[in-house]
Amino acid sequence: MAFESLSERLQNALKMFRGNGKLTEEDLKAPMREVRMALLEADVNFKVVKDFVAKVKERAVGEAIGEGLNPHQQIIKIVNEELIELLGGTQSKLTVAPKPPTVIMLVGLQGAGKTTTAGKLANYLKRKHKKPLLVAGDVYRPAAITQLQVLGEQLNVPVFTLGDKVSPVEIAQKAMEKAHSLACDTVIIDTAGRLHINEELMEELRNIKGAVHPQEILLVVDAMTGQDAVTVAESFDKELGIDGLIVTKLDGDARGGAVLSVKAVTGKPVKLIGLGEKLDALEPFHPDRMASRILGMGDILTLVEKIQSTTDLAKALEMEKKLRKDEFTLEQFLDQMQQVKKLGSLETILGLIPGMGGISQKLKEANVDEKEFDRIEAIIRSMTKKERQKPEIINGSRRKRIAAGCGMRVQDVNKLLKNFEESKKMMKRMQGMAKFASKGGFKL
């Protein structure tokens, strides 16, 4: 998970601040050394770390402690503010053309995740009720065109290609005509990458830029490459000019150095982040929310947005109705679980809840893992339709058959049925509470 190790070290360093009075240089020495080490170990650029630590120190000694805060809280406040600044300050949104279509050109080295990100971006825009057109401009990597076509098919988004014998500049130009004829409001151009930056690549990208004047040239970089990603960003910006970055594979990068350094080094903001291989694993980048996650304060806003974008309202209402009529069945239980699964991994969800970030380690230790979902699903799928609707008929011999059907033990089936009953009771109680609250019973 992104920033996992940095988050832990930083939080430990900040716990070292004690006392009640104003912070002195002496108080700051040891903890700030830890903060510095934490950032360096997260592979943050050396100069960026130096400036960051100097700024925090200066503010910590210079500023009066805020009302109602102790030194520990004061230093967290300062580190949080400086982290937000380091990550880019405010959220940097995608530019939209005054007259459609908006042209977004994705550039980057081979393997950074451009083609996958083109698909994810189309999906993201579609959810925002946009009408994207994907353009297969990578004519060198043999599989890139087919890869984009497959993604387009999955998403039901048109893909424009002229094969691999036509120049990318011509493809981009013709794609604009296609976008007009299909009334697409956003054109996403996937371009070719190379293993290393070279003049030929830059020349080609400059030509595409000159031909279609994109509103956004976004550099796709792989978070796992750390400081190399920052160097690549510097080169692309110098040679081509970029408007921002999409940092991919943050799900696999526990350090996060690239994201923490790139704005300070290049002046260009991170606009989106990739957190997995699936098509919905792309998020807008919010510096304030990310700082909050790093400091273990959670990110409720992202969680709420995730719930809103993945929850099927009609289904939720139907579930509520069934619950009221006491018709909540194992089928709906399975449905509900699948909705939760769509939100992302257990670890991701917990990381977004304030104070829960550290729990994921404990869950791992207690052997509670993602597979639990799969096990429950397998058991329910091994039941007949009637059993799912009327769990009370599941007697001893049925339990044995269900367990054998999914390769699980009878105890596992028993456990699931018990959990189901409990969750039903709990939901009813919560419903009662919600009704009580809606009648003005208590204020939140």
DSSP-assigned states of every residue in 26-50: HHHHHHHHHHHHHHHHTT--HHHHH
**H helix or E strand, kind and range, residue 413:** helix 410-438
The pair of three-digit structure tokens given for residue 290, joined into one six-digit string: 């990310």
Q: What's the closest the beta carbon of residue 342 comes to ligand GDP, in angstroms?
A: 17
One character per residue 181-220, x = contact with ligand GDP (rule: CB under 6 A): ------------x---------------------------
Residue 348 is labelled as binding a ligand = no
Using the minimum distance from each CB to ligand GDP, give the nearer residue, 115 or 161.
Answer: 115
Bridge partners of residue 283, in order along the sequence: 273
Q: What's the closest the beta carbon of residue 413 comes to ligand GDP, in angstroms?
A: 35
Q: What's the closest the beta carbon of residue 120 comes to ligand GDP, in angstroms?
A: 8
Bridge partners of residue 248, in order along the sequence: 222
Q: Which residue sits closest to ligand GDP, CB atoms considered?
A: 274
Residue 112 is labelled as binding a ligand = yes
Using the minimum distance from each CB to ligand GDP, give the nearer residue, 249 or 289.
Answer: 249
Cα 357 from Cα 349, distance rounded (Å): 9
The pair of three-digit structure tokens given for residue 216, joined into one six-digit string: 């956004």
Q: What's the closest the beta carbon of residue 153 comes to ligand GDP, in angstroms?
A: 16
**Which of 113, 137, 257, 344 touches ligand GDP by CB under 6 A?**
113
* CB 274 within 8 Å of CB 258: no
Q: What's the closest the beta carbon of residue 250 comes to ligand GDP, in angstroms?
A: 7
Cα 250 from Cα 229, distance rounded (Å): 12
Using the minimum distance from each CB to ligand GDP, give the nearer residue, 229 or 403.
Answer: 229
* CB 7 within 8 Å of CB 295: yes
Using the minimum distance from each CB to ligand GDP, give the nearer residue, 44 or 148.
Answer: 148
**Which of 83, 103, 114, 268 touches ligand GDP by CB under 6 A?**
114
* CB 218 within 8 Å of CB 105: yes
**10 forms part of the interface with ligand GDP (CB under 6 A):** no
Sign of the CA dihedral with 418 first, then 419, 420, and 422 last: positive
DSSP-assigned states of every residue in 291-306: HHHHTT---HHHHHHH
Cα 323 from Cα 427, distance rounded (Å): 8
**Which of 92, 103, 249, 334 touches ligand GDP by CB under 6 A?**
249
**1 forms part of the interface with ligand GDP (CB under 6 A):** no
Of residues 258 through 317, those in contact with ligand GDP by CB under 6 A are 274-277, 281
How many residues touch ligand GDP (CB under 6 A)? 18
The packing angle between helices 410-438 and 371-381, to 10°, is 100
Residue 113 is labelled as binding a ligand = yes
Residue 108 is labelled as binding a ligand = yes
Of residues 15 through 54, those in contact with ligand GDP by CB under 6 A are none
Q: Which amino acid is at 113?
A: G
Annotated binding site for GTP: 108-115, 190-194, 248-251
Which residues make up the interface to ligand GDP (CB under 6 A)? 108, 110-116, 193, 248-249, 251-252, 274-277, 281
